[in-house]
Amino acid sequence: MSIAQSLESIGFLNEFSESVLVYPIVLSTHLTCIALLGGMILMTNLRLLGLTLKSLTITEVVTSLRLWKRIGGVIMIGTGLLLATSEATKYAPNPFFWTKMIILSLIGVHALVFRPIVYNRTEELDRSSLIPAKVKAAAILSLILWTGMFTMGRLIAYWD
Amino acid sequence: MILQVTNPLNSSELIFPTLECIHIAGFALSVGTIAIVDFRLLGLGMNHQSTAEVAADLAPWTLLGLVVMLTSGPLLFSSDPDMYYLNWVFDLKMVLLLLAIIFNYTIRRKTAYSGKSGTRAKVVACVSITLWVGVVFGGIFLAFI
């Protein structure tokens, strides 16, 4: 039995994907988190680019949205794991799924690279009058990665 | 239906998923920005700033998101109107959407700009979040019913 098959056959995951109600509830929760998280990530990056929320400092925007983004992120990964593992044999050969996972890991790399030099140094950014190139790069890359992320997520359903 | 048969949307396999992605981007923008204001009303973020200022800053983005959502949505609908027309979840979603939009631009708007932060403001924020989450759930459930 392949890894995907054995994953799928785990009792509760099997019941989960067969359930008429639970599966759409988990999928809706996953999508709700995308809406909340997506909107917040977008606003954070647009603030970094100086395009919105200018009555607030970058520090305020980044710090007050951080907790919500973390909560949303945890729920999104949790529900995403349920969705993917319960139908592991469908996901395993799906190129869109793997592209999405590669983008997800690139988002991790983005955080490792830019958190110490941009997102954790917002007070410095608030003091400077122009937007440094590294900040623009961080914001634009983040927007591209997240757009790729939800596009691939949607396309998973269209591969057969 | 004639609309469905001659609809150019059904001429390519790529158009529907592309529209879906645009639809998702639109509601992420609108629902995400609405949620930020609602969280501010609840006193759960951006507390150094007045709700009115946060709301005013985000209003154009919310509107942009709504426009994208309300353009792509009817196009998605037109690809298979019979399926949606006969689906009670779709009706429910439309009722929730209508309520959410009306609520957003009446009671919630007034509350956000009034500067009040009591229980009333918190109730308004909760109603707003509930309505919009209901719309998102409706969108997924209509494909499963």
Give pLDDT tens digits for B4-63. Answer: 556 777 777 788 899 999 999 999 999 999 999 999 999 888 888 889 999 999 999 999
Q: A123 Cβ partners below 8 Å, 6+ apart?
A: A59
- Amino acid B3: pLDDT: 54
Range of A19-23, B1-5, B28-32, B85-89 with top mean pLDDT: B28-32
pTM: 0.88
For chain A, the domain total comes to 1
Structural domain containing residue A117: 3-158
- Amino acid B80: pLDDT: 85
- Amino acid B103: pLDDT: 96
Instruction: Report the half-sphere exposure of B53 (CA within 13 A, side-chain side).
Output: 11
Residue B58 carries which side chain, given as an amino acid letter? L
Over residues A114-128, mean pLDDT: 91
| Domain assignment present for B22 | yes
Q: Would the pLDDT of A27 be above 90?
A: yes
Confidence of residue B118 (pLDDT cuts 50, 70, 90): confident
Over residues B94-108, mean pLDDT: 96
Helix-then-strand count for chain A, H and E: 8, 0
For chain B, the domain total comes to 1
User: Are A56 and B20 an interchain contact pair (Cβ–Cβ within 8 Å)?
Assistant: no
Q: Does A96 touch chain B (CB under 8 A)?
A: no
The residue ranking higher by pLDDT, B80 or A111, is: A111
Contact residues of B toward A, CB < 8 A: 13, 17, 20-21, 24-25, 27-36, 39, 44-49, 53-54, 56-58, 61, 65, 132-133, 136-137, 139-141, 143-144
| Domain assignment present for B65 | yes
For chain B, the average pLDDT equals: 90
User: Are A39 and B33 an interchain contact pair (Cβ–Cβ within 8 Å)?
Assistant: yes
Residue B67 carries which side chain, given as an amino acid letter? V
- Amino acid B4: pLDDT: 55
- Amino acid A59: pLDDT: 92
Give pLDDT tens digits for A30-51.
999 988 888 899 999 999 999 9
Confidence of residue A98 (pLDDT cuts 50, 70, 90): very high
- Structure tokens given for B39: 């969280």
Over residues B90-118, mean pLDDT: 93
Over residues A53-57, mean pLDDT: 86
| Domain assignment present for B6 | no
Q: What is the distance, to the nearest Å, from the Cα of residue B59 to the centroid of all Cα atoms in its chain?
A: 13
Phi-psi region of A52 (alpha: psi -120 to 50; beta: other; left: phi over 0): beta
Helix-then-strand count for chain B, H and E: 7, 0
**Residue contacts between A and B (CB atoms, under 8 Å):** 107
- Amino acid A16: pLDDT: 73
Of A37, A39, A67, the CB nearest to B29: A39
Of B17, B49, B137, the CB nearest to A158: B17
| CA distances from residue A29 to A36, A148, A155, B96, B136 in whole angstroms, order as listed | 11, 20, 18, 17, 9
Structural domain containing residue B114: 13-141
User: Are B35 and A39 an interchain contact pair (Cβ–Cβ within 8 Å)?
Assistant: yes
Residue B2 carries which side chain, given as an amino acid letter? I
